[in-house]
Amino acid sequence: MRFSFIHSADLHIDSPLAGLGLKDKAVAERFAQAGRRAVEALVAETIRSEAKFLIVAGDIFDGDWRDVTTGLFFVRAIGELHRAGIPTIMVKGNHDSESGMSRSLSYPDTVRFFSSRKAETIELPEHRVALHGRSFPNRLVPDDFVESYPARRDGWLNIGVLHTSLEGSRDHKSYAPCSVADLRLFGYDYWALGHVHDAKIVSEDPWIVYPGNLQGRSVRETGAKGAMRVTVEDGRIIAVEPLVFDGARWAHETVDVSGADRETDVLSRIEAALDALHGRSGGRALAVRVTLSGVAPLHGQLMARREMLQDEARAVGFRIAGDCWVEQLKLSTMAPSRPAAALSAAESLDVDDLLAAVAADPGFADALAETMKSITDKLPHELRKELEADPAALQRLADDARAYLSGAMTS
């Protein structure tokens, strides 16, 4: 007997897409429905492919609903699977844990949530499948959360459904921590994991899989997003393949502007890169962080005019498509080295020496340290960790300041 099922996780329905709303409301509106479109695409493919069941491994919602339309949307979407006779099996994760949701709606009887009181087994006898799982009772689960999962059912395909960070990762807090070795002890055939937003096949013996989230929510979550199709033959998993469902896409694009000596050249290269990227996105709404790199004679001018150049880059994106948005323009260019004799009077001003002299003053150093601490204390946890782990960050800021002053004085 051969059949397939779909493993999804981290739908985060109606989660706001970070980095858009405060910058351009029109663009944000184009992106706002991306998460719902992704859910609709997931349901449509589950029905089209005649998958035998759908797994959602936690974080269906981003948190308590702002209004009931969020819940009604999901009930309507799941209703299509119910009418097609396809069961939906779900756990609740840290974002939509039992205690974190103040409202709920009734679901069709083909929808099954794992209990949050204890781990349990849900059987699908017609396919000889036993699914084992437990929902989060709250955001912080007990230490023995994973240990309480049931024993495997001999003669059945055993699937563990678990919302976990495994042993933790750089980008995710520790939730239901466990190791690959811990999961192997259960003897399950497949672990359907959720929580980590990057798709990853952690192991093939047994299969331990993160499908990633269904829709990228910020520039930290780039590339295609979706779920996994799992194919079973004669009680064994024979294939796991990614499916793409995202309704909008985030990207990082580095554009080499080496040798460019006019802003029009820079913008032409940005346009060519965005046009190619938009073509690869399959017509999806696109939000791109563009980084300019290379040795460029315009380095100082680019630094001094970064904000204006960013606006021009956004205009370039909108020429390509109404939903091709340059989220941010970053500069990682370098000025070409020139002999001292070739420098103008303005360019030969040694800004570094002046800055060094000021920085050597104890009072200034103390004031700077206090100011920097007050700023970093207000930064998001992830960004603060990045700065603390990058001792060269302040030197790059000094280099950028020098380039900015040089560009402003010569442009």
What CATH number does the domain containing 139 carry?
3.60.21.10
Give the residue numbers spanning the domain of 263.
248-337
In angstroms, rounded to a whole number, what is the distance separating the alpha carbons of residues 26 and 323? 9
Question: Last residue of some domain: 195, 222, 244?
Answer: 244
233 and 364 together in one domain = no
Q: What string of pLDDT tens digits covers the 411 residues of the chain?
A: 899 999 999 999 988 776 665 567 777 777 888 999 999 999 999 999 999 999 999 999 988 888 899 999 999 999 999 999 999 999 998 888 876 777 788 999 999 999 999 999 999 999 999 999 999 987 777 667 889 999 999 999 999 999 998 875 444 456 788 899 999 999 999 999 999 999 999 999 999 999 999 999 989 999 999 999 999 999 999 999 999 999 999 999 999 999 998 999 999 999 999 999 999 999 899 999 999 999 989 888 898 899 999 999 999 999 999 889 999 999 999 988 766 555 555 555 555 455 556 555 666 656 656 776 677 676 666 556 655 655 555 544 555 554 554 444 455
Separation CA 99–CA 182 (nearest Å): 27
Are both 81 and 186 inside the same structural domain? yes
CA angle, 352 as apex, 348 and 354 as ends, to 5°? 90
* pLDDT attached to residue 340: 55
d(CA 149, CA 146) in angstroms, rounded, equals 6
| Overall domain count for the chain | 3
Shared-domain flag, residues 27 and 163: yes
Q: Of 307, 337, 367, which marks where a domain is finished?
A: 337
Same domain, 215 and 321: no
- The per-residue pLDDT for 50 is 98
DSSP calls for 105-171: ----TTEEEPPSSS-EEEEEGGGTEEEEE---SSSS--TTTTTTSPPP-TTSEEEEEEE--TT-BTT
Task: Using alpha carbons, select from 248, 94, 103, 74 the residue that is nearest to residue 174.
Answer: 94
pLDDT of amino acid 97: 83
Residues 223, 322 within the same domain:
no
186 and 290 part of one domain:
no
Contact (CB, 8 A) for 335 and 304? no
Please check whether residues 109 and 253 belong to one and the same domain.
no
The three-class DSSP label of residue 321 is coil
Closest CA to 303 of 274, 277, 278, 335: 335
Q: Same domain for 208 and 239? A: yes
Q: Which pLDDT does position 141 carry in this prediction?
A: 76
Q: Domain boundary residue among 244, 260, 280?
A: 244
According to the model, what pLDDT value does residue 172 have?
47
Same domain, 231 and 321: no
Are residues 93 and 66 part of one domain?
A: yes
Q: pTM, whole model, 2 decimals? A: 0.81
Nearest to 351 by CA among 303, 307, 319: 303
What are residue 243's DSSP bridge partners? 227
Q: Is 14 exposed, middle or buried (0-12, 13-18, 19+ CB in 10 A)?
A: buried
Shared domain for 286 and 315, answered yes or no, is yes
Tokens of 64: 């308590």
Residues 197 and 98 in one domain: yes
